[in-house]
Amino acid sequence: MKNNSDSKKNNKISFSSDYTKGAHPRILERLTETNFEQNDGYGTDDYCSSAAEKIKNACGCPDADVFFLVGGTQTNQVVLDMLLKPYEGVVAAPTGHVAAHEAGAIEFSGHKVLTLPVNNDVLSAYSSDKDNVSCKYATYSDQIGKITAVDLRAFIKGFYADDNHEHMVFPGAVYISHPTEYGTLYSKTELAEISKICKDFDIPLFIDGARLGYGLMSRRTDVTLKDIAEVSDAFYIGGTKVGALFGEAVVFPKGVPTAHPVPVIKQHGALLAKGWLLGLQFDTLFTDDLYFEISKNAIDKAEALRKGLIEKGYKLYIDSPTNQQFIVMEDEKLKAFAENVRYGFWEKSDENHTVIRLATDWATTDDDIEKLMSLL
């Protein structure tokens, strides 16, 4: 997403995204403390082992396999290539990151992204104004960016019912993001329903958790990390957007589905030589619940922001329960706003209005919110 950046950017307050800052200070401290230690390469070091143990413990799945990769698209590509057979594709929402914003990384590794047919009801404009929420794509704004169990079952059943299905791409995995790209969340029941379908058809469920912490710490969720591990066959715990310099922790709760994960990771160019840099960061994040604590900070700040926005009469584009808030702003007003604030441009909602994203993160301060509110 493009930001309204310019030369004066560092004089501006920024809410443009959640990957604009470095890392939690504790991570930088530990990197500095351990800088001259000598570690084994490629993830075989003690920090990776320790981080994996802590993560397995937090997930309640002692038999899990845990790997550490560098970024989100890379992780989606590697994990799906592990889960899918050559003739299989991954089922996803049309708005899913793997479908829309990875420049064809999944197809690059030979697999089709099977997007669920867009639901007519969802397509129809959502015109009512209850709770100051306006969303042109979703009947209920909390559904936007999500797939539904009904659509998923219909799609997979339809596939197998089709006499031609051996000439089609088999659904070989289901991908969901939690939170979604629109900041929305699945409920525990929704996850259970999707998981049930996956089990019924023996299709693994993969959860993209690039912003998982912000989902788990939402005030409007009943889903825990253990639930995530329970319902899925693979998921990742995002570090890049949640307090790490970089890095994603991939968890296979029931074990990794290949006899040799290392060469698979390597052939994707995804095996970090100094793997301990990843291990050490996740070891830090999963010590004393740091990951959850800093995720909660983003939520607290986002809720304060949301409350303020509603109070000031702004129209929420999506009523997001996580760290990304979306509002519709008049273009004239936006111009002035942009002088002082960096935001994420989302889309034009009509000729004179724009949807913008304001994202909080692990490091957002009360002061940041106050300044922002004073400018709105």
Q: Which of residues 272-301 bind its own copies (CB under 8 A)?
A: 272-274, 277
Among 8, 37, 255, 289, contact with its own copies (rule: CB under 8 A)? 37
Give residues 187-216 in contact with its own copies (rule: CB under 8 A).
none
Shortest separation between residue 358's beta carbon and its own copies, angstroms: 13
Please give the span between the terminal C-alpha atoms of the chain, in angstroms, as a whole number.
Answer: 21
Among 48, 51, 89, 283, contact with its own copies (rule: CB under 8 A)? 89
Give residues 145-164 in contact with its own copies (rule: CB under 8 A).
163-164
Our finding on whether 271 is near its own copies (CB under 8 A) is yes
Residues that bind its own copies (rule: CB under 8 A) add up to a total of 88
Give residues 98-117 in contact with its own copies (rule: CB under 8 A).
100-105, 107-113, 117
Our finding on whether 341 is near its own copies (CB under 8 A) is no
Among 11, 120, 127, 128, contact with its own copies (rule: CB under 8 A)? 120
Among 262, 339, 352, 374, contact with its own copies (rule: CB under 8 A)? 262
Shortest separation between residue 334's beta carbon and its own copies, angstroms: 15
Q: Which stretch binds its own copies (CB under 8 A): 16-24, 176-184, 213-221, 291-299?
A: 16-24
Give residues 298-327 in contact with its own copies (rule: CB under 8 A).
none
